[in-house]
């Protein structure tokens, strides 16, 4: 029986923990993890694993009920380390009841921001959004409606470094776990990205790797595509080249003009981005060879 702890909006949070594991594949991995949890009176709720690549690299997500679990999680690393060392595991544990602190970056387009705020407010996204950062005033009204502090930090070629210093100060003050670029129309510096490895998610309004860079809708229209896409991915130093988390497509016809592509693309972008954010905050993503493995 799963113990339910509290509800936020319409979402009920479980009293459970999640462990993500990756290491070279070998015999006994599943058994070692399951036995460790069993030895401390844990009840496994979900156990998913995948072997990636020709060398069959092992990736797993294990979730177990904490009701009756006899090992306090602050002692978990000490007790599990011998098992991890034996198999060469890289691993981490998180409480499903923990609500990650998410900062949303946005420019003038508001559709992705509005969707994220709505899903967070109704409990679909189990996170906190303590601040929104923008380089424009245009979408402040949405932040005010949801009661989220809105910080405008203008960015130009000559002030980019100073702007990022101010942004990082705010992120540190609010103890941010994840940054979501909800159509933030600025390229982040390598130094900024390095401070948040695998903790920045961007939505790109094309089906990557097609139409990289600026004005992908115009590129798609000029090419006469029959399918329009959107891609949510982790941000790396190489533009639009980070590990892909989620993608979506919509049909395009010869009757659709550029404005139609933009409208259809916006509907797609907000759904794709919200899925990617949800999977990240629920600890469902592992990375391998610039790819993502998404556990259900």
Q: Decide: 34 and 22 in contact? Cβ < 8 Å.
A: no
Q: What is the DSSP-derived secondary structure letter of residue 191?
A: H
User: How far is 182 from 203, CA to CA, in rounded Å?
Assistant: 6
% helix, strand, coil for the chain, step of 5: 30, 30, 35
- Six-digit token pair at 244? 């892909």
Q: Using alpha carbons, list the distances in angstroms from residue 217 to 207, 227, 231.
A: 10, 11, 13
Tell me whether residue 74 is one of the annotated catalytic residues. Answer: no
Beta strands in 9-68 (DSSP E): 11-14, 16-24, 43-52, 57-65
Element (H, E) at 232: strand 227-234
Annotated catalytic residue, options 25, 240, 241, 259: 240
Cα angle, residue 134 at apex, residues 8 and 103 outer, rounded to 5°: 35
Peptide bond preceding 262: is omega within 30 degrees of 0, i.e. cis? no
User: How far is 198 from 174, CA to CA, in rounded Å?
Assistant: 18
- The catalytic site residues sit at 240
């Amino acid at each position: 029986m799963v113990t339910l702890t509290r509800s936020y909006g319409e979402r009920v949070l479980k009293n459970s923990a999640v462990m993500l594991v990756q290491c070279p594949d070998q015999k006994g991995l599943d058994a070692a993890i399951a036995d460790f949890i069993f030895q401390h009176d844990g009840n496994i709720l979900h156990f998913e694993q995948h072997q990636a690549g020709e060398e069959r690299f092992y990736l797993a997500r294990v979730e177990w009920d904490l009701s009756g679990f006899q090992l306090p999680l602050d002692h978990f690393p000490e007790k599990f380390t011998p098992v991890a060392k034996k198999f060469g595991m890289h691993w981490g544990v998180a409480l499903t009841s923990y609500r990650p602190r998410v900062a949303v970056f946005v420019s003038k387009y508001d559709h992705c921001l509005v969707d994220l705020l709505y899903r967070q407010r109704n409990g679909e996204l189990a996170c906190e959004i303590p601040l929104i950062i923008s380089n424009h005033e245009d979408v402040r009204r949405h932040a005010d409606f949801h009661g989220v502090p809105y910080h405008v930090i203008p960015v130009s070629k000559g002030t980019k470094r100073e702007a990022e210093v101010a942004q990082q100060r705010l992120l540190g003050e609010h103890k941010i776990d994840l940054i979501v670029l909800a159509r933030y129309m600025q390229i982040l510096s390598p130094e900024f990205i390095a401070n948040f490895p695998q903790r920045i998610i961007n939505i790109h309004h094309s089906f990557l790797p097609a139409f990289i860079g600026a004005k992908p809708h115009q590129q798609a229209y000029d090419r006469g595509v029959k399918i329009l896409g959107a891609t949510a991915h982790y941000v790396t130093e190489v533009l639009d080249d980070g590990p892909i988390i989620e993608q979506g497509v919509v049909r395009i016809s010869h009757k659709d003009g550029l404005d139609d592509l933009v409208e259809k693309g916006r509907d797609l972008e907000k759904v794709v981005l919200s899925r990617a954010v949800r999977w990240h905050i629920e600890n469902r993503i592992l990375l391998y060879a610039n790819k993502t493995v998404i556990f259900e």
